[in-house]
Amino acid sequence: MQDRGKSVVTGPGTGPKECEERELLNRIAAGDQLAMNRFYALYQKRVFAFVLNRLKDGNESQEVVNDVMWEVWKSAGSFEGRSRISTWVFGIAYFKAVDRLRKRKAVETIELVPDSLQDDGPDAVSAVFSEEVSQAVAKAMGDLSPEQRALVHLAFFEDLSYGEIAEIVACPVGTVKSRMSRVRSILSGALATLRETNP
């Protein structure tokens, strides 16, 4: 690839990982294919999991991942460093997934069970109860809108702040908070029902 003569604005880093990603983005902006390969390796699985939770189609999700990475390749030089790189990447992924859903003219149910709710301990009783909790949560997630499920994925799996999530989905922080409040309400109700049936 030829040097495209672009450079990425160096923003305040949050740690070694962010510094590495900023360096990779600078190299990508200059046309470094090896840097793009490394960036792809860092984000492919994360973006795929996020998109798959919305599209529920492996092949289509991989196509979106490729679209996202192509956008990174084209737009690396325009990244201004005002947010974390992960926020920027997931923002691209979010809207490309939305575009796919619009083209389908149908929204499919996405089951999402946060790993943090699962008990991996040796206690067999806890393990059984954990499975019941997971099933209850999965059922409760089915009542959420696709937008809410996207927010939950970003919060649980990517551990992003409300501010970062709001930037990704391009909506006010207050909207993110209200949707997450609804999620907590649904989850609490599901767990309360489980406790009633398993005193």
CATH assignment of the domain containing 135: 1.10.10.10
C-alpha to C-alpha distances, 47 to 51, 63, 105, 190, 196, nearest whole angstrom: 6, 11, 22, 29, 38
Residue 33 shares a structural domain with residue 91: yes
| Cβ pair 77, 29 in contact under 8 A | yes
1 in any annotated domain: no
Instruction: Say yes or no to pLDDT of 124 above 90.
Output: no
Better-scored residue on pLDDT, 129 or 100: 100
Residue 87 shares a structural domain with residue 121: no
Block residue for tokens 């059984």: 128
Residue 37 shares a structural domain with residue 88: yes
What is the pTM assigned to this prediction?
0.62
| Cβ pair 43, 92 in contact under 8 A | no
Residue 136 shares a structural domain with residue 77: no
For residue range 182-195, what is the model confidence (pLDDT) as tens digits? 877 777 776 676 66
What local confidence, expressed as pLDDT, does residue 121 receive? 39
What local confidence, expressed as pLDDT, does residue 98 receive? 85
Give the number of domains in the chain: 2
Residue 66 shares a structural domain with residue 134: no
Q: How confident is the model at residue 66 (pLDDT cuts 50, 70, 90)?
A: very high
Domain range for 141 is 115-197
Average pLDDT for residues 63-92, to the nearest whole number? Answer: 92
4 in any annotated domain: no
Residue 22 shares a structural domain with residue 100: yes
Residue 129 shares a structural domain with residue 87: no
Residue 97 shares a structural domain with residue 122: no
